[in-house]
Each structure stands twice: as structure tokens, then as C-alpha cells.
Structure 1
């Protein structure tokens, strides 16, 4: 388990975050450039190593997040902590009203669409939802495994 000081050093390596001390020697780290009302990325980091990162409703973290979209980072490694903080900042930076659409084609001529909208990566055949992923990398890996290539 990382110490409080190690976690602080990792968190403070993200220049986008601003430290704000709160009660009982705990600290919050805010992302002031958030596109949303929510600005706290790291919440209630305590000298005992406990703390939370806000990731909203990202599918990638649905099994570990509480109902407020917070993930406890007490036992996170450095790599895990860096990844979740980057995901949180990206989540709060993302304009969820602009969908991204990519067309993927198989050798047989079947076309699927990979659509990114509101934090999900969805694969559609025509207008039918086929699969949903929490990260683009997972969706792309699936498409490649199934023999699809990005249509240029």
C-alpha cells in the first residue's frame, strides 16, 4: 500500500489538480476546468492512506464504485492510482453531448458502428446495440478479434 505522502506525490504530479485542505488533516484535489458542477477528483485523502477518486458512472469502474461514483483508493498501486486519476480528469473534461461514430467493416462486407456517447463505447449493427464497453481499447480489441477493420 502506498503511503499518504506517496499518494500525494502521485496526485500532485497532475498539474490540472488543485489541493484543498479539509478537516482532520484530509485533503481534496479539485479539477477546476471540469465541464460539470463536480470538480473534486480525489476526495478525503487521509493520512492513513484512505481516500476516494470520483469516476462518475464510467463502466470500467462499475464493479468497484459506490453509488456516488467514488472508488476507494486505499490499496491502489502507483499505476492504478495514475490510471484512475487520468480517467477521472478525462471524464470531467468530456463533452458528453458530442457523440463519436466510427465505421468498422469485416472482410465479408458487414459494417458495424462504434459509437462513443455519454462515457460508453457501443457497437451497433444497423440500429441494434450489439455490445457495450467502458473503454475504447476494449471495444477496439473486440472488433479486431471479430475480424473488423476501421473503415477509412
Structure 2
């Protein structure tokens, strides 16, 4: 686990974040260029090492985030902390509609067809018009499709 000072050093290596001290020796880090009302990326970083990063509804963090879209970073190492902060900044800096649509067709031996589409920050698998599964990363969606016997068709 990184110390409070080590976490601060990692966070402060992101020049787009601004530090704001709050109560009980805790600090928040704001992203002023956020396209949304939410500007706090790192919330309530405490000298005991506890703190949170806002990831909203990014599926990559669906198993870690609470109902407010916050992930506890108490036990994060430096690489994990950098990655989650980069993801949070990107999340607040990009308009969802600006993402390029990506669609792939996958088939199994029986000829069944599934569509893998990147939409609104998630990888969705469709059978016809029906959503079958949603994943936070391409790798997770690909692994699922391969396990189910599907292969990508060009």
C-alpha cells in the first residue's frame, strides 16, 4: 500500500488536477476541464491512505465502484492508481457521443451470429436486437465470445 505522501506524489503528477484541502487533513483533487458537473477525480484522500477515485459508470470498475461511482484506492499500488486516475480524467473529458462506433461480427460453428459493439464506454454483445452481455473491456468481451465458441469474422 502506498503512503499518503506517495499517493499525493502520483496524483500531483497529473498537471490537469488541482488540489483542494478539506476537513480532517483530507484533500480532494479536481479536474477543472470536466465536461460534466462532476469535477472531483480524487475524493477525500486521507493521511491514513484511504481515498476514492470517481469512475462513474465505467464498466471496467463495476465490481469495485460503489453506487456513487467511487472506487476505494486504499490498497492500490502506483500503477493501479495511475491507471484509475487516467480513466477518471478521460471519463470526465470525453463526450460519450464523440466515440467512434466499432462493430464486429462473431459466428459459431452452427452459424449463429453475434454482434460486438463498442457503445457509450462499454463493449456490448447483441443477438439480433437483444443485448446479451456488456463488458468494460474488449478483452473481457472477446474472452467471453471465445469461451462460447464464437470466432471473429472479417
TM-score range, shorter chain: 0.7 to 0.9
**Superposed counterparts of 1:69-108, under 5 Å:** 69-98=69-98, 100-106=101-107
- Deviation per CA, 1:60-101: give whole Å up to 9, x if none: 222322221111111112222122212212222232235623
1:50–1:74: 8 Å Cα contact kept in structure 2? Answer: yes
Query: Which structure 1 residue ranges, 5 or more long, are not aligned?
Result: none
- Give 1:1-152 correspondences, 5 Å limit: 1-98=1-98, 100-106=101-107, 111-145=113-147, 146-149=149-152, 151=154
CA distance in 2, matches of 1:90, 1:15: 14
**After the TM superposition, which segments of 4 or more aligned residues of structure 1 sit over 4 Å from their partners?**
107-111
Structure 2 unaligned spans of 5+: none
Which 10-residue stretch deviates more, 36-45 or 71-80?
A: 71-80
8 Å Cα contact 1:103-1:111 kept in structure 2: no
Aligned residues: 151
Distance 1:122 1:140 in 2: 11
Normalising by structure 1, report the TM-score: 0.83
Alpha-carbon offset, residue 16 of structure 1: 2.6
Question: What RMSD, in angstroms, separates the aligned Cα atoms of the two structures?
Answer: 2.3
Q: TM-score, normalised by structure 2?
A: 0.82
